[in-house]
Amino acid sequence: MPDQQQAEAPPSLVVSIVIVSYNNAPALRRCLAALEASPDRPQTEIIVVDNGSRDGSQAIDSEFSGVTVLRLPHHCGLTKPRNIGIRTAKGEFILLLSPAVALEPGVPLKLAERLEQDTTALAVMPLIVDESGDTVTKVRRLPSADQAKRYWRDPAGLPTVPLDTDWDLHDGLAILLRKRSIQSINFLDEKYGEYWIDVELAYQIRRAGKKIALQQDLRGAYQPAGQILSRDSAIRACFAADAANGAAVYLGKRFGFMSGLMFRIQMTLIALLQMLTFQDPGYAAAMLSRLTSSYKIDGTTNQFN
């Protein structure tokens, strides 16, 4: 009888999948349906951190009963919700997954197995393709100081490099790490808000002398998810100031305190000049106010609902 009970016991939890979502109901349903249909579902935990959605996706657990939904009252960027999901997770491995990606069956557990086998990697990621099978995954090298200043608005604009060359920076769509690796850096640095946290994670992995391994035979399908698009000057300033803050934090960490400080001063002077010369004055004034307070998107103020 003990042997029979042991045989019937559910497999231990291995991978916790953390999905941060904002007003992405159609993409999120597709993402979760793929995970629920996977043969490794009993060995996975699915956590959706809802970033203050108003499109019904905050109640997605009524459609997927095995999914844990953590509801945030406001849009809190990316870093803080990820940390909330990671701290809640019970699995040995954490898969940070975009709601825009539907993984092929078995991918979460296979990623964990690959990470166990590769002693040179601190993280692994699948290849993401579109509906036509064309590669969506983009990889880049960590930005130099000049590149961080040039592409401060969005590091996704950094030059890409071929998949088969040496690279550091993943695209943020799907990446698996051990939970203890994230804990060892005291979780994701909440000096970042929406932007630059993936650059920070790549920097920490490279600094540890490890790499992110791309598993091209493990795949996920990409469909664009919702975005916050607004002409409101205050909302545009929120995202721009968050990006500028992220670039400054990265510059300070990698190239020294003065590098980050000088960038902040430069951005503040640009916003001041725009305001004084009436170049989009509403945006410039909002930007200036946020730059002087090292603003980041973390839910402290509710600008998006």
pLDDT value at position 13?
A: 80
Count: domains in the chain: 2
| Domain termination site, one of 201, 222, 243 | 222
| Domain termination site, one of 196, 222, 248 | 222
Same domain assignment for residues 210 and 65: yes
CA dihedral 101, 107, 109, 110 (to 10 degrees): -140
Whether 74 maps to a domain, the answer reads: yes
Same domain assignment for residues 103 and 84: yes
CA 2 from chain centre, in angstroms, equals 44
> Using an 8 Å Cβ cutoff, are 85 and 49 in contact?
yes
Parent domain of 101: 9-222
What average pLDDT score do residues 143-157 get? 97
Compute the distance between CA of residue 140 and CA of residue 69 in angstroms, rounded to an integer: 32
Asked if residue 10 has pLDDT above 80, the reply is: no
Same domain assignment for residues 208 and 253: no
Compute the distance between CA of residue 174 and CA of residue 193 in angstroms, rounded to an integer: 19
pLDDT value at position 305?
A: 55
Residue with structure tokens 């932007």?
195
Compute the distance between CA of residue 65 and CA of residue 35 in angstroms, rounded to an integer: 13
Same domain assignment for residues 89 and 21: yes
| Domain termination site, one of 191, 222, 253 | 222
Using DSSP bridges, classify how beta strands 101-103 and 15-21 pair: parallel, antiparallel or unpaired: unpaired
CATH code, 160: 3.90.550.10
Same domain assignment for residues 110 and 182: yes
Comparing 7-16, 137-146, 163-172, 289-298, which segment has the lowest mean pLDDT?
7-16
Same domain assignment for residues 73 and 157: yes
Q: What confidence category does residue 95 fall into, taking pLDDT thresholds of 50, 70 and 90?
A: very high
> Using an 8 Å Cβ cutoff, are 156 and 113 in contact?
no
Comparing 2-6, 34-38, 91-95, which segment has the lowest mean pLDDT?
2-6
For the stretch 227-272, pLDDT in tens is 666 678 888 999 999 999 999 999 999 999 999 999 999 999 999 9
Percent of the chain with pLDDT over 90: 80
How many other CB atoms are there within 10 angstroms of residue 137's CB atom?
A: 20
Same domain assignment for residues 101 and 204: yes
Three-state SS string over 220-274 comes to EEECCCCCCCCCCHHHHHHHHHHHHHHHHHHHHHHHCHHHHHHHHHHHHHHHHHH
Whether 304 maps to a domain, the answer reads: no
